[in-house]
């Protein structure tokens, strides 16, 4: 695990958990935008940290993050954001780690499957195969994520995709890819899930609405205070990766809404 900090001069703490299958640096522009007002901790999981590690589990990711924050003297978190796998980590953190969080955004967060374990193993194997193909073939990567949509403004698409491709080929091991998809869909939660006072929003893009239906329902069931927000025209994780200024605007809207009333 590796942690990148932005805006250390700011008092309020904002913790970010990125998703898998993307380099940590595609989230840096959004972290930098938030660092105008917050002390941002961008927490990069094992297997994604350029340190030769392998991802183990959502439980370990959340626990290691909490340990790191405690060592840094963080006793309260003003805001937390997690997308996809990072959303799973956020849910686990809120339920199992004893650091209060005032507000949290679960962006397309993945929740545990209700299926029998043999079925879950088959799904994990299928996920592993598809991601292995996409991270080892530029042609498949571009089919899965068309450059015209997934190239950040102002960047050359060929250079951007080549950089991502080299990162993933070098750092995402077969073990990491399997463990990510197994754990993100099958991590444990306390039973019962403790009640918390954290204000929560569950975000998803319009184009992933069907895929996130059960994840959203699970989040609202375990945390009934959750408000749901759909982003028209957006794909999975598109807001944080492609639109840092709008991402900042939406985060600030949520975090400051009570002050603005």
Q: Backbone phi, then psi, for 162, in 5-degree steps?
A: -65, -40
pLDDT band at 21 (very low <50, low <70, confident <90, very high): confident
Rounded Cα distance, 85 and 237, in Å: 11
Structural contact between residues 15 and 81, judged by C-beta atoms closer than 8 angstroms: yes
Rounded Cα distance, 144 and 130, in Å: 10
Q: What is the pLDDT of residue 68?
A: 98
pLDDT digits (tens, 9 = 90+) for 150-187: 999 999 999 999 999 999 989 999 999 999 999 999 99
Beta strands in 19-59 (DSSP E): 39-44
Q: What is the pLDDT of residue 259?
A: 57
Instruction: Centre a 10 Å sphere on the Cβ of residue 121 and count the other Cβ atoms it contains.
Output: 13
pLDDT digits (tens, 9 = 90+) for 100-128: 999 999 999 999 999 999 999 999 999 99
Name the residue with tokens 């807001």.
239
pLDDT digits (tens, 9 = 90+) for 130-155: 999 989 999 999 999 999 999 999 99
Overall average pLDDT of the 84-96 stretch:
98
Q: What is the pLDDT of residue 260?
A: 53
Q: What is the pLDDT of residue 89?
A: 98
Percent pLDDT > 70 in the chain is 98
- C-alpha distances (whole Å) from 81 to each of 87, 156, 229 are 7, 28, 14
Q: What is the pLDDT of residue 180?
A: 96
pLDDT band at 98 (very low <50, low <70, confident <90, very high): confident
pLDDT band at 258 (very low <50, low <70, confident <90, very high): low
Q: What is the pLDDT of residue 243?
A: 97
Q: What is the pLDDT of residue 103?
A: 98
Question: What residues contact 221, with CB distance under 8 A and at least 6 apart?
Answer: none
Q: Is the pLDDT of residue 261 over 60?
A: no
Residue of higher predicted confidence among 59 and 256? 59
Overall average pLDDT of the 216-245 stretch:
98
Overall average pLDDT of the 14-42 stretch:
96
pLDDT digits (tens, 9 = 90+) for 44-82: 999 999 999 999 999 999 999 999 999 999 999 999 999
Q: Find, among 92, 250, 71, the residue nearest to 186 by Cα.
A: 92
| Whole-prediction pTM | 0.96
Q: What is the pLDDT of residue 64?
A: 98
DSSP structure string for 121-145: HHHHHHHHHHHHHHHH-HHHHHHHS
Overall average pLDDT of the 7-34 stretch:
96
Crossing angle for the helix pair 85-96 and 209-222, nearest 10 degrees?
Answer: 0
Domains and CATH numbers, the chain: 2-112+188-256 (3.40.50.1820)
């Amino acid at each position: 695990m590796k942690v990148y900090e932005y805006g250390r001069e700011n008092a309020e703490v904002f913790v970010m958990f990125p998703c898998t299958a993307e380099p940590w640096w595609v989230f840096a522009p959004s972290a930098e935008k938030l660092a105008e007002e917050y002390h941002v901790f961008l927490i990069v999981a094992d297997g994604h940290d350029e340190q030769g590690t392998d991802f183990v589990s959502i439980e370990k990711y959340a626990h290691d993050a909490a340990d790191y924050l405690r060592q840094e003297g963080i006793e309260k978190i003003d805001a937390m954001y997690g997308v996809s796998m990072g959303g799973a980590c956020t849910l686990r953190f809120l339920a199992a780690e004893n650091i209060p969080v005032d507000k949290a955004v679960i962006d397309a967060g993945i929740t545990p499957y209700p299926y029998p374990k043999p079925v879950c193993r088959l799904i994990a194997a299928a996920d592993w195969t598809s991601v292995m193909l996409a991270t080892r073939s530029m042609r498949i990567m571009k089919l899965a994520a068309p450059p015209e949509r997934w190239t950040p403004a102002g960047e050359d698409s060929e250079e951007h995709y080549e950089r991502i491709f080299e990162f993933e080929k070098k750092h995402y091991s077969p073990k990491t890819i399997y463990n990510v998809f197994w754990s993100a869909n099958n991590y444990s939660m306390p039973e019962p899930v403790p009640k918390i006072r954290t204000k929560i929003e569950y975000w998803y893009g319009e184009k992933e609405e069907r895929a996130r239906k059960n994840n959203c329902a699970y989040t609202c069931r375990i945390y009934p205070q959750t408000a749901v927000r759909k982003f028209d025209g957006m794909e999975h994780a598109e807001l944080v990766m492609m639109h840092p200024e709008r991402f900042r605007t939406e985060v600030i809207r949520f975090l400051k809404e009570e002050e603005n009333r």
